[in-house]
Structure 1
Amino acid sequence: MPENRIASRPLTTVRQWHTASYTHEQSACVEVSEGPVTGIRDSKNRDLGALFFPADEWAAFVRAARGERL
């Protein structure tokens, strides 16, 4: 599996992105593209690219952020 990295713009434009459920219009906005490799990016700075993680690593991060145990 390749290392986590910032992707170039062409890789981020062909994916289906949606705004994270905790995003509010007046706060920092995060967009997510889910799949075998999950991408995350700042919706206000899309030109900066995105970070990509294997789906199982992203799921573990979300569980930890919610305070859930494995």
Structure 2
Amino acid sequence: MTSDEFDGAVWHKSTYSGSDNGCVERGRLLSGRQAVRDTKDRERGAAVFAPGSWQAFVNAVRSGALAA
């Protein structure tokens, strides 16, 4: 992955992010992959997921399979 892939990414802060700086952002990359990063430490980089892997994660969360 190149840093160019992050150019033009559309980032969204999680609605579950709290006021205690425990925030994460999800970015839709131009390649179709999804990235997740720490809002307060963006210089640290991001974890990047293939579309199918990201969808499987979202489905598991929605179904309660990954409940806290």
TM-score, normalised on structure 1? 0.68
1:42 maps to which of 38, 43, 55: 38
Fraction of identical pairs, as percent: 32
2:20 maps to which of 26, 30, 41: 26
Q: How do residues 1-70 of structure 1 correspond to structure 2 at under 5 angstroms?
A: 11-12=5-6, 14-35=8-29, 36-66=32-62, 67=64
Task: Tell me how many residue pairs correspond in the alignment.
Answer: 62
Q: Which has the higher contact order (CA 8 A, sep 6+)?
A: 1
Q: Quick check: 2:21–2:40 contact (8 Å CA) kept in 1? A: no
Q: How far has the Cα of 1:13 moved from its partner?
A: 5.1
What is the Cα-based RMSD across aligned positions, in Å? 2.2
Residues 32, 41 of structure 1: CA spacing in aligned structure 2 closer, same or farther, 3 A cutoff?
A: same
More helix by share: 2
Q: How far has the Cα of 1:22 moved from its partner?
A: 1.2
Residues 49, 9 of structure 1: CA spacing in aligned structure 2 closer, same or farther, 3 A cutoff?
A: farther
Structure 2 gaps, min length 5 = none
TM-score, normalised on structure 2? 0.70
